[in-house]
């Protein structure tokens, strides 16, 4: 019995100590540091309008009205559902992906801009299904529609897109991108949708 206690006691003590360190101390430390140094990101990078939370810089939203830039398709639940994050898990040569998702989206977009090549991010979802960004090419593809619907010049819309185009992080990581929610909010400030 004494030998059993001698062997079990150190294991139980190590488990309890590591539980306190990794389950209590570490999470509190990381939460505290993130609140001190990265408060906006730690709280979800939320965007408020008139005192009401309308979205996050980190999670996409579905925009369907023609006067707004549209996000890339989402495979997360019913669209941009953070509880159902994930891609379609269909490979690029999968017939179901091409026939079901890509062809249908491409046909709708071809009606909008018949002579312009369709950027791939307007017909495919991201790996998480929550991507808040589109490529500058996807934004350019939509400029004429948005300008027409808002009664703006295409040059004015392009200027706003350019102002909201983020470059590569540290000048070498990732690709240039446009946050769709921030771009649409900027458009509403500069030239609200006609009623």
Mean per-residue pLDDT for 10-25? 95
**Do residue 32 and residue 108 come from a single domain?**
no
User: How far apart, in whole angstroms, are the C-alpha atoms of residue 146 and residue 142?
Assistant: 6
Using alpha carbons, select from 69, 80, 71 the residue that is nearest to residue 188: 69
**Do residue 13 and residue 107 come from a single domain?**
no
Q: Rounded to whole angstroms, what are the CA distances from 101 to 75, 96, 105?
A: 10, 7, 6
**Do residue 10 and residue 86 come from a single domain?**
no
Q: Dihedral through CA 131, CA 132, CA 136, CA 140, nearest 10?
A: 110
pLDDT of residue 84: 72
User: How far apart, in whole angstroms, are the C-alpha atoms of residue 132 and residue 80?
Assistant: 9
**Do residue 28 and residue 80 come from a single domain?**
no
Mean per-residue pLDDT for 93-104? 77
**Do residue 112 and residue 27 come from a single domain?**
no
User: How far apart, in whole angstroms, are the C-alpha atoms of residue 23 and residue 30?
Assistant: 11
- The parent domain of residue 19 ranges over 2-39
Q: Is the entire prediction scored with pTM above 0.75?
A: yes
pLDDT of residue 96: 74
pLDDT of residue 19: 97
- Going by pLDDT thresholds of 50, 70 and 90, the confidence category of residue 173 is very high
**Do residue 62 and residue 103 come from a single domain?**
yes
Mean per-residue pLDDT for 130-148? 93
Mean per-residue pLDDT for 175-180? 95
pLDDT at 158 over 90: yes
Dihedral over Cα of 71, 72, 73, 76: its sign: negative
Is 153 contained in some domain?
yes
Is 195 contained in some domain?
no
């Amino acid at each position: 019995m004494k030998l059993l206690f001698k062997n079990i006691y150190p294991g139980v003590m190590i488990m309890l100590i590591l539980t306190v360190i990794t389950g209590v101390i570490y999470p509190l430390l990381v939460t505290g540091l993130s609140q001190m140094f990265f408060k906006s990101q730690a709280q979800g990078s939320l965007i408020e309008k008139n005192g009401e939370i309308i979205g996050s810089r980190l999670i996409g939203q579905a925009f369907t009205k023609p006067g707004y830039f549209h996000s890339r398709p989402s495979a997360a639940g019913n669209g941009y559902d953070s509880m159902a994050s994930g891609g379609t898990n269909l490979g690029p040569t999968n017939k179901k992906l091409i026939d079901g998702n890509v062809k249908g989206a491409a046909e709708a977009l071809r009606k909008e801009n018949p002579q312009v090549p369709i950027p791939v991010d307007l017909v495919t979802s991201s790996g998480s299904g929550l991507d808040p960004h589109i490529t500058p090419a996807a934004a350019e593809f939509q400029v004429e529609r948005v300008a027409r619907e808002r009664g703006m010049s295409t040059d004015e819309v392009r200027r706003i897109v350019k102002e909201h185009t983020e470059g590569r992080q540290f000048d070498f990581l990732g690709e240039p991108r446009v946050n769709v929610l921030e771009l649409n909010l900027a458009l509403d400030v500069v030239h609200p949708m006609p009623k």
